[in-house]
Every structure is written in C-alpha cells, then in structure tokens.
Structure 1
Amino acid sequence: MTIHSFDSDPVSLSIDASVGHIAGLTIRDGARILTPLHRAPWVDDPAVTFPVGTAPNVQRLSGDFFCAPFGRNDIEDAPSHGWPANSEWDYMETNAHDDRTTIVFQLQRTVMGAKVEKIITLIAGHPFIYQEHRFTGGEGAVSAAHHVMVHMQDGGDLAFSPKTRALTPADPLEPDPSRGRSLLAYPAQTTDLTAFPLAGGGVADLTHYPPGDSHEDFVTLVEAPEQSLGWSVVSRKAEQDRIIVLKCPENLPVTMMWMSNGGRNYAPWSGLHTGVLGIEDARASPLGHSNSCKENEFTRAGAPTAFELGGGRSIVVRQVIGACAAIQGESKLTSVSPDKDSLILGFECGGIRALNYAPEFLQRRSGCASG
C-alpha cells in the first residue's frame, strides 16, 4: 500500500495508489472539519482475512474510485470494475501554479490497450476536488463510472438534478437469503423517485436514506435531457453536512445508487457494512462491460453506455466532489446551479448559499465530453 497525501486549504486529500482509491478526504468549513467519504471498516484491520477471489477494490474499499469498465468485466481479463479500481497507479508529478495544485497519476496497466491518467486539481479556497480521467489510444469500447461512497451514521436526505426515471435490473444484488437481502423490487421502475416499488409491496422514497434495515440494493437514475449540470447532494442528518457530487450529464448520463446497509452476511461485509450509499455517475449499463457495448435499454432511451476508444483522440471523464456544513435554518435543498465563480445551493425556504467553484471545469469546451 502506497498513500500519497496533498493539501490545499480547505481540502486535504490522500490517494491509495495500490488501487487508485481516494483513501481520505477532509474539507474545512469554518471551524468544522468534514469527512465526507466512506472507508470500509476492514481496510485498516490487519487481522482481517478475505475469501479467496475477493477483488482488490473490495479489499481496499475507500472514498471514490474510477471504474473502467463498470461492474462485470466480461470482455477483457480483469477484476470487476476493471484495472483502474484494482491495480497500481504511478505517481507522476504535482504542479502548483497560482492558487491551483494539479496532481497526476498514471495507471500501470492499460484498459483495452488505452493509457489511463488520473488528474486531480485542488483550488485554494474551494471546498471541492476536481477529478479528470483520460484515456489515450486503445481500441474498442469501454464503459466508465466513478464510485463515490458516503457513510451516514443516522441517515439523511438525498436530492438530485432532474431524472426521467429510476429502475432496478432484472435480479437483486443478493438473491440468496442465506447470503443477504434486498428490499427493492427487481425488475421495477418509476418516474417518481419518492415512490419506488418494494419487493414486499408498498413503495420506498429514494430521496431519503436508508429505505429500511439490513438490505443491499441497486437502482439506476437516468438524467433528464438538456441538463447542463448533473448533481447529487447527500444531506447527512447526524453529521449536519452536505456532500455534493457534480458531473456533465452528456458525459455521464446515469447515476447508479448502491445502497449497502448491512444486507450482506458473508465476509468481509458480515452484516457490518451499514449506512453506506454509493453515488456512481456513469456511462454504463449495470449489467457489465459486454452489455454496455451493445444496444440496451439505456441506449434505446438515448443514454449512451460506453466510450469508443482510438481514432487518434483522447476520452476525458470529469467529476467533482465537495462538501459544506449544514447551516441552522436551511431547509430542504431543492436546486444546485453554477454561477460565474460559485456554485449556488437553493433551499425550499427560498434561501441560497454560494460556494467557491470553477464552473468551466464541467463545461463541454473544457473537455467534459469525449473527443
């Protein structure tokens, strides 16, 4: 394990280069130090043993990691979520200029023959990390996703940019009751995020987490067309903060939610992995690499699920993660919008809050989309 640490007030960041995961992230908001991302309890336990075949991305499960492909790897020989989430990255350089610090890593392996770089920018005074992953060369098609993970001690509220629908795949994550349990209906879908069908009847409100006890679930949200900014905000109840995840919808047209709340009985999960929500912004089908590279229910609805490599071009995927403290008197969050040099949070009560932000990072002309 090799950890690289970086600081640019208000952000402190560490990268586990053995798998490319964000090992730690703290963000200062006034007198408070926020810890927005999750780290699995077994990662720092030297006594833990893993079942044979446990992928490195599970063994080192932390913060956020980049998947290429997303999920099942059934084209190239690699673990689930691909080599970017499971193998070593080389630290290349750090460049500091004015108020910006840019950190570059390169994956030791290739993905479908493509070189993969991880470029992280920190901007002084900004409560965000600006992430870019770049594919150069290669051949064929590959799906991709970020895998942000948030832990909630006592649940919280979820808010999203407009979505056309939410849907589950044909099979639950844990179909065998001896190994685990899922709550949502599979397959099922709805256009109302507050009323997703449950397996046992009734509905779950996907704008609140968790929807129940002891469950492992997965649902995909499809971005509404013509959105210039895709966003997800987790307002944590006990922690009294807000975790903000931003994307370019044209680049990453779906957001997959992984609900891991004590629903797996087997090691290393052992019913202890609770209160975790994965926010997985993606250009992918949840059914794996092969399914992502052909026509599927998402592509038929106008949501591409893979990037085409090669052709003398680079493929760029960008995403932003940040956080701020919740302020007394703020009501339910209802909107997120970029301004000239800030991100504006809007609340049900009519109030707003501005955070230092660089909106050009997720604009098409800055390389948010492929090309």
Structure 2
Amino acid sequence: MDTVAIGAKGISVSLDLAVGHIAGMEVEAGGRVLKPLHRAPWIGEPRESLPENLPEGTLRLSGDFLCAPFSTSDVEEAPLHGWPANSPWDVVEDGAIAGGRRAVFRLRRKVMGATVDKIFTLRDGHPFLYQEHVFSGGSGAISVAHHPMTAMREGGRLAFSPKRLAATPDTSLEPDPARGRTRLAYPARAADLTHFPIAAGGTTDLTDYRMEDQREDFVTLVEADHGGPGWTAIARRAEQDLVLVLKNPAELPVTMLWFSNGGRDYAPWSGRHLGVLGIEDGRAAMGHAASLGDNWLKHEGVATAFALAEGRSVSFRHVIGAVPSADVEPPRGIETARDRMSILAIDGTARNIPFDGEFLRIGRSVLA
C-alpha cells in the first residue's frame, strides 16, 4: 500500500495515497497507544477473492476520507463518493512547523473543474488531527462530507452537540432481507435522539451503540443553532477511550451516522463488518444531483453544497482525536478555548486537554 506518514509528539497519521483514505492514526496518551479509526477487514486480501465491480474506495476502506460528492456521483461521472475517495493523491508539501508538522496533498483528478487540496496539521502534545480541504476554481456546485469511521468491540455510548432533528431517508440501505438488514424506520424523523422510530414499532436510542443489534442503518442529524463547534463523542467500552470528532456547523451543517454492524451478508462485507460507526460531517444530501436540487434539508434551511467558481477557493475544516477514558458514559458537553478543550463529565467535573480553538473558529469564511 502506497502510504505516507506524518507525526508530531504523541501523534502520527498515515495516508493511503492511492485513494486518499487515512490508513492509520495513533495517539500516545496515558502510557497507551489509542487507535481511534477503523480499517475494513478485507484490506490486504487477494483482489481476485473480492467482487470485480467494487470501487477502489470500498476495496481500501479505512480511517477517514473526503467525499465529493457525498454518495452517488450522478452529475459528473465518478465512483461512489467521488474521485477524492477513489483515486490517487500526491504529496505537494511536507515539513515541520513551529510545534508540529504540516503536509499538503493534491488530488490528481479535478472535481467539477476544481483543484482539490487536503491539508493535515499535527501539533506536539495535541491528540488531534486538524484537517482542511480546499477547492480552487471549478464551476457549478459540489456536495462534500468527511467519512471518519471508528469501530467498537463491545459497543459504546454517543453524545453530540445540540441537534435540531434526526431523520432517515426514504429508503433503507438494505431493503432486501436476502442481502442484509436494517433496524430503523424509513423514512422517519425525531427531535429526541433517544427515541427514534424503528421498523418493528416503538423507538430506539441512537446514542447507545449495542453490538446485539445487527444492522446497516443511516440517519442524518441536523445541527441546532448553538453558536459553538459541532461535535460527536464516542465512549468506546472495550477500548476505554473517547473518540472525538469536531466541525464548524456553518461549513458542515449535518452529521450523518452510518451504523454498520454485521448488517450486510454479501461480499466483501459478509457479516464481518462489525461495530463500525461512521461520523460523516457534511454539507450534502444523498447524492450529487439531490444535493444540487430540491431536497428535504433545503426545506429545513440547511445548505447541501458549496458553489464553485474560477478565481475563488472554498475551504472547510474538520478535527478527529482520541483520549483515554475509563468512563463508559460520554461527556455531557464539550467547550473549546483558544488553547484547550474542556470535556465536561456527567458528574460535573472537567478535563482539559490541548486543543487549537482557533482552527474551527465559528464565523470563519468558507471562501479563501
């Protein structure tokens, strides 16, 4: 696998240049090495043993990657989640900065005529990967999303920044029971994430990831207007850590959750993709054409694409991190300041860790 690794004190990240997926991320903390991101179990298996029609991004599914567009590429021809998730990137810059390291990668292909750069920044002593993507030039509009995935051996509990609502699409990911199974109702919506409708009747708690629920489900969370960064926190039971994913809601107004827990019976999934949660912060509806056209999110006042234009650049930022935690419950809140993050526990105590609070500055223009 053609990967490049960068590191700073206490953290390292590697990128699979063939498809732009993060191949690995390690955080050293508390005498442990945390690995917050997931890699598909079929990576490294002989190509001839896997279905012929799989996109490269599915064959090498790992970590986090840029979707542009998110889901179906039905405006400009490209595989699922677009060329940024399925084709090569080049290293255009890699070097030390004050207190850390910075690397810039460029997609060999263009997206809607735009040049796409991926920027990684690591800071000494910070348990976070700071990412930025920049689209320069182009025309039309593009939907985008990050696609970080974590995996849990024994499930876990989730917490979020305030959300306005949760909704499933019209059709489930696996409508054919001969191929897979889902648990949530489609379509459905709820304002209370702990009481979301299920297909069998009644409700389920979206904040509780239970391993006994074998399913393949997808639900979109719409950020509420709260004035701070958007965040997702996953308290992984067996791993005894807290995985943290943050965004600027003005740039990425929705968080799409992908529950993938043995819910697909066909190759390469084959019932072995277990305990995986995708935390897909985006500016998108399901599919490029749907994102550009009329869709339910627009009716809610939510943007679902970035406009592109020659002579202009569009950028958006994202953060992924992890810290040790023996607490089986996620935090009740997260607050950020210029140089730190405060993780607020259920019992009212606060834990402070190093964080670049300026990186996701709310109100920062998305036009570079």
* C-alpha separation in 2, matches of 1:252 and 1:81: 16
Q: Which is further off, 165-174 or 51-60?
A: 51-60
Aligned to 2:296: 297
* C-alpha separation in 2, matches of 1:340 and 1:132: 18
Contact (CA 8 Å) 1:42, 1:48: kept in 2 or not?
no
Contact (CA 8 Å) 1:157, 1:209: kept in 2 or not?
yes
Q: Which amino acid aligns with 1:297?
A: W
After superposition, give the CA deviation of every residue in 1:301-339 in whole Å (9 maximum; x if it has no partner). Answer: 1110000001521010110000000046x8541001101
The answer on 1:318 being equivalent to 2:308 is no
* C-alpha separation in 1, matches of 2:338 and 2:360: 13
* C-alpha separation in 1, matches of 2:75 and 2:250: 25
After superposition, give the CA deviation of every residue in 1:6-27 in whole Å (9 maximum; x if it has no partner). Answer: 1212111110000000000000
Aligned mate of 1:354, from 340, 352, 355 = 352
Q: Which runs of 4+ in 1 moved over 6 A?
A: none
Aligned to 1:125, what secondary structure does the other structure show? coil
Contact (CA 8 Å) 2:228, 2:362: kept in 1 or not?
no
Q: Which is further off, 81-90 or 332-341?
A: 332-341
Aligned to 1:50: 50
Aligned to 2:167: 167
* C-alpha separation in 1, matches of 2:321 and 2:149: 12
Q: CA deviation at 1:370?
A: 3.8
Residues 301 and 47 of structure 1, relative CA distance in 2, 3 Å threshold:
closer
After superposition, give the CA deviation of every residue in 1:227-255 in whole Å (9 maximum; x if it has no partner). Answer: 32000000000110000000000000000
Aligned to 2:332: 334
Contact (CA 8 Å) 2:253, 2:303: kept in 1 or not?
yes
* C-alpha separation in 1, matches of 2:364 and 2:338: 15
Aligned to 1:250: 250
The TM-score normalised by the length of structure 1 is 0.96
Gapped runs of 5+ residues in structure 1?
Answer: none
After superposition, give the CA deviation of every residue in 1:145-180 in whole Å (9 maximum; x if it has no partner). Answer: 000000000000000000010000000000011111
5 Å matches for 1:71-90? 71-90=71-90
Q: CA deviation at 1:295?
A: 2.5
Contact (CA 8 Å) 1:205, 1:211: kept in 2 or not?
no
Residues 227 and 48 of structure 1, relative CA distance in 2, 3 Å threshold:
farther
The answer on 1:121 being equivalent to 2:128 is no
Aligned to 2:279: 279
* C-alpha separation in 2, matches of 1:316 and 1:49: 39
Amino-acid identity (%): 51
Aligned to 1:158: 158
Aligned to 1:209: 209
Aligned to 1:141: 141
Q: Which amino acid aligns with 2:201?
A: G
Gapped runs of 5+ residues in structure 2?
Answer: none
Q: Which amino acid aligns with 1:185?
A: A
* C-alpha separation in 1, matches of 2:326 and 2:176: 43
Q: CA deviation at 1:53?
A: 1.5
The TM-score normalised by the length of structure 2 is 0.97
Aligned to 2:61: 61
Aligned residues: 368
